[in-house]
Amino acid sequence: MPAQETVDWSECPLVEVKSGLQSGSPVLRGTRMPVNAIVDNFDYGVSPAEISEQFELPEDCVRAVLAYAKSHRVAHPV
């Protein structure tokens, strides 16, 4: 079984974590948009342009989140 990957969002200026917002899940700063939804959609083959349109987010923001996630993935055994 492959290792489950997560992202360490603590250094990303685009992301915030607030205990009362989306159950403490990392979200795009100033929104209620879980960043994991962006990454998960991309991992399932949805393009950044489609993600941008689907979630009504600027495409450059989507691309920045994806670039950060790619460089900050941490493998955790399942």
Output the pTM of the full model. 0.83
CATH topology of domain 4-76: Arc Repressor Mutant, subunit A (1.10.10)
pLDDT in tens, the chain (78 residues): 344 568 889 899 999 998 887 788 999 998 889 999 999 999 999 999 999 999 999 999 999 999 999 998 876 544
C-alpha–C-alpha distance, residues 78 and 75, integer Å: 9
Q: Give a three-class secondary structure readout of 62-77.
A: HHHHHHHHHHCEEEEC
